[in-house]
């Protein structure tokens, strides 16, 4: 009986599928893809949905049935039409990412003409479209696929590889198809801020994408912590529920998320002792394509200090590099001058130099430079701003600055958290104290941390310290001001200096975020009792956070060390409260704000 029912259900399911196909009753929703450079929507991925109350509402079942019935091309063509017609309000700079099953590329009817006519009807251009090749099915014939995609590329379309890191052939597809964008699967980005293995894998994608000038899009972003981590790693774009759920309309991320991205971008630029490659950009000789090699040779002979020259197209975009040593080596051969003297510079230039945007960190550029083949190892690095040449930097200057940065960072930072240590804390306190502006000092201290270390071990204790540092850093980065500061005094003691209007609200937010995430460090164990420093049993659900908040509206007649004395007094009050708590003092007036 069950077998008969299954066959009947299957027959009805096929009938429903064909009805959907014939009535074109599918629709598209759009999920924003956001730039981590400025928080602006870079584009939208179009996602297909079936009828609301149908068993085929899920695109997975819809396309699987289409493949089984040999109707994949018809369904994909319909989905593309729906996706394009539904995004008429797309700006000229934005992209629409349209999913294309890998097997469709080889369909004889898969031609760009139909899509082009539809784009023109909707006021769009092929440069607005990114064909996103799904990784769930492999490309059987790369040679044919490359020819088809090259035909599209010549018209202005771009190519993306989806689900990179989740399928078995993603690396081969990336190598063979050389996409404009790589989308990292959510299996690698989810909780990346807690996984070193995921971090190392994504770091490899970042290095590769930067070297090949490929845009990198991280999917499945649902947590600020993951967003923070990916942005610091150098990922270019993000997509996920945190930025916006799929919607029939072309929605923008919440203003708070855009502000978070902008503030982090600003803070990364302001970070002490941290420099980007743009800081090292030096002017260099620059020639357009078509310039005779003789002219380049003459220039280098007249400028002994220059290691090489840049070659750009007519818009100023770099397309090649001509190193002094290579040029003169070629010309010094027996027939070198006869062969090359009157030829254009592109005959001898390196057409695959290392090109990086000015905001790229020196550490990342160093890794990219050292990953080059031996003959290019010490070639100049070309630096761009919005794709236009800004200058070049030598490998020697990059390594010298990295060494200096590492020495400075080690001198002032705590090795466990990377936060500035006591020397830098004292400097910042003195600077803010001597200014006329009001500020507040947040002292944060973990309660029952010794018990946790004894119970779970020092390695787990270190992770709790790092977690606390992350909560402080991210909360203040998101809700604080550009001049705020977070430091690690040592052990489980932290300090933050902030200029926000309501430091009590900020402190309470720190406490709430700490409490919201600390449970995961108990690894499923239910905690009802802890031991105090004397070994006495205390009824408590685990580690808590006590904050002493000193609000410095006025400080006439006081010395900076008064902050420490006030904080010590308030610390006792905070620890006397049940659970995590904030105890605040605005000079002579004492306020208390209970924690969660």
| 391 in Cβ contact with 284 (< 8 Å) | yes
Q: Compute the distance between CA of residue 593 and CA of residue 584 in angstroms, rounded to an integer.
A: 7
- Name the residue with higher pLDDT: 266 or 427: 427
Q: Average pLDDT of 560-588?
A: 78
Q: Average pLDDT of 64-76?
A: 84
What pLDDT, on the 0 to 100 scale, is given for residue 559? 66
Whether residue 7 has pLDDT greater than 60: no
Tens digit of pLDDT for each residue in 253-265? 998 898 888 877 7
Whether residue 595 has pLDDT greater than 80: no
Whether residue 410 has pLDDT greater than 70: no
Whether residue 292 has pLDDT greater than 80: yes
Instruction: Compute the 3-state secondary structure of the chain and give helix, strand, coil in percent, each to the nearest 5.
Output: 45, 20, 30
| 134 in Cβ contact with 166 (< 8 Å) | no
What pLDDT, on the 0 to 100 scale, is given for residue 263? 76
Tens digit of pLDDT for each residue in 498-550? 999 999 999 999 999 999 999 999 988 888 888 887 788 888 888 999 999 98
What pLDDT, on the 0 to 100 scale, is given for residue 460? 92
Q: How confident is the model at residue 296 (pLDDT cuts 50, 70, 90)?
A: very high
What pLDDT, on the 0 to 100 scale, is given for residue 280? 84
Whether residue 473 has pLDDT greater than 80: yes
H-helix or E-strand spanning residue 446: strand 439-447
Poorest-pLDDT segment among 1-5, 387-391, 408-412, 557-561: 1-5
Q: Average pLDDT of 181-190?
A: 92
Q: How confident is the model at residue 15 (pLDDT cuts 50, 70, 90)?
A: confident
Q: Compute the distance between CA of residue 30 and CA of residue 83 in angstroms, rounded to an integer.
A: 8
Calculate the average pLDDT of the chain. Answer: 84
Tens digit of pLDDT for each residue in 90-125? 888 899 999 888 777 666 666 656 778 888 888 888
Whether residue 46 has pLDDT greater than 50: yes
- Map residue 138 onto helix, strand or coil: coil
What pLDDT, on the 0 to 100 scale, is given for residue 274? 59
Domains of the chain: 25-270 (3.20.20.450), 278-401 (3.10.580.10), 414-593 (3.30.70.270)
Helices (H), 458-548: 458-479, 503-517
Beta bridge partners of 310: 286, 321
What pLDDT, on the 0 to 100 scale, is given for residue 170? 65
Alpha carbon 159 to chain centroid, angstroms: 20
Range ranked top by mean pLDDT from 18-27, 158-167, 383-392: 383-392
Poorest-pLDDT segment among 190-194, 388-392, 585-589: 585-589
Q: Average pLDDT of 411-428?
A: 82
Q: How confident is the model at residue 412 (pLDDT cuts 50, 70, 90)?
A: low
Q: Average pLDDT of 174-199?
A: 86
Whether residue 591 has pLDDT greater than 50: no
Q: Compute the distance between CA of residue 32 and CA of residue 252 in angstroms, rounded to an integer.
A: 7
Q: Compute the distance between CA of residue 41 and CA of residue 140 in angstroms, rounded to an integer.
A: 34
What pLDDT, on the 0 to 100 scale, is given for residue 432? 81
What pLDDT, on the 0 to 100 scale, is given for residue 359? 82
pTM of the predicted structure, to 2 decimals: 0.50
Q: Average pLDDT of 285-293?
A: 95
Token pair for 470: 């992350």
Looking from the CA of 207 toward its CB, the CA atoms found within 13 Å total 15
What pLDDT, on the 0 to 100 scale, is given for residue 362? 86
What pLDDT, on the 0 to 100 scale, is given for residue 3? 36
Burial readout 468-499 (b: 16 or more C-beta within 10 A, e: otherwise): bbbbbbbbbbbbbeeebbbbbbeebbbbbbbb
What pLDDT, on the 0 to 100 scale, is given for residue 9? 47
């Amino acid at each position: 009986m069950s077998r008969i029912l299954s066959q009947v259900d299957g027959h009805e399911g096929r009938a429903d599928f064909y009805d959907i196909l014939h009535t074109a009753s599918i629709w598209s929703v759009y999920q924003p893809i956001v730039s981590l450079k400025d928080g602006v929507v870079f584009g939208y991925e179009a996602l297909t949905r079936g009828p609301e109350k149908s068993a085929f509402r899920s695109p997975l079942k819809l396309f699987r049935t289409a493949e089984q019935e040999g109707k994949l091309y018809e369904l994909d063509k319909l989905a593309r039409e729906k996706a394009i017609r539904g995004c008429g309000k797309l700006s000229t700079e934005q992209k629409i990412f349209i999913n294309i099953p890998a097997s469709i590329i080889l369909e004889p009817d898969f031609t760009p003409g139909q899509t082009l006519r539809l784009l023109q009807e909707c006021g769009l251009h092929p440069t607005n479209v990114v064909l996103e090749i799904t990784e769930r099915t492999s490309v059987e014939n790369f040679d044919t696929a490359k020819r088809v995609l090259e035909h599209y590329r010549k018209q202005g379309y771009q190519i993306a590889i989806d689900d990179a890191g989740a399928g078995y052939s993603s690396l081969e597809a990336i190598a063979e198809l050389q996409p404009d964008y790589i989308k990292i699967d959510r299996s690698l980005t989810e909780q990346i801020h807690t996984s070193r293995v995921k971090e190392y894998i994504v770091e490899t994608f970042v290095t590769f994408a930067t070297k090949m000038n490929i845009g990198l899009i991280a999917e499945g972003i649902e947590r600020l912590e993951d967003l923070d981590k990916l942005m610091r790693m150098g990922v270019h774009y993000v997509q996920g529920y945190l930025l916006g759920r799929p919607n029939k309309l072309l929605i923008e991320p919440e203003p708070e998320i855009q502000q978070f991205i902008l503030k982090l971008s600003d803070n990364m630029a302001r970070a002490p002792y941290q420099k980007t490659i743009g800081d090292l950009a030096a002017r260099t000789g620059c020639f357009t394509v078509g310039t005779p090699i003789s002219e380049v040779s003459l220039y280098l002979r007249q400028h002994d200090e220059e290691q090489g020259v840049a070659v750009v197209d007519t818009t100023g975009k770099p397309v090649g590099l001509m190193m002094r040593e290579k040029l003169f080596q070629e010309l010094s051969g027996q027939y070198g001058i006869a062969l090359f003297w009157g030829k254009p510079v592109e005959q001898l230039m390196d057409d695959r130099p290392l090109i990086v945007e000015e905001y790229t960190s020196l550490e990342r550029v160093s890794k990219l430079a050292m990953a080059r083949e031996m003959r290019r190892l010490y070639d100049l690095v070309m630096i761009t701003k919005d794709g236009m040449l800004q200058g070049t930097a030598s490998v020697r200057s990059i390594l010298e600055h990295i060494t200096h940065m590492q020495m400075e960072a080690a001198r002032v930072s705590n090795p466990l958290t990377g936060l500035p240590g006591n020397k830098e804390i004292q400097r910042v306190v003195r600077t803010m104290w001597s200014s006329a502006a009001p500020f507040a000092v947040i002292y944060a201290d973990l309660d029952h941390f010794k018990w946790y270390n004894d119970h779970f071990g020092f390695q787990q204790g270190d992770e709790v310290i790092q977690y606390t540092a992350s909560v402080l850093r991210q909360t203040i980065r998101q809700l604080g001001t550009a001049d705020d500061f977070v430091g690690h005094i040592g052990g489980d003691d932290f300090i933050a200096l902030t200029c926000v209007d309501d430091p009590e609200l900020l402190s309470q937010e720190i406490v709430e975020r700490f409490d919201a995430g600390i449970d995961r460090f108990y690894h499923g164990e239910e905690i009802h009792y802890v031991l105090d420093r004397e070994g006495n049993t205390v009824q408590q659900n685990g580690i808590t956070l006590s904050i002493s908040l000193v609000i410095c509206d006025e400080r006439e007649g006081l010395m900076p060390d008064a902050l420490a004395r006030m904080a010590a007094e308030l610390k006792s009050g905070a620890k006397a409260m049940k659970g995590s708590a904030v105890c605040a003092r605005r000079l002579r007036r004492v306020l208390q704000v209970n924690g969660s």
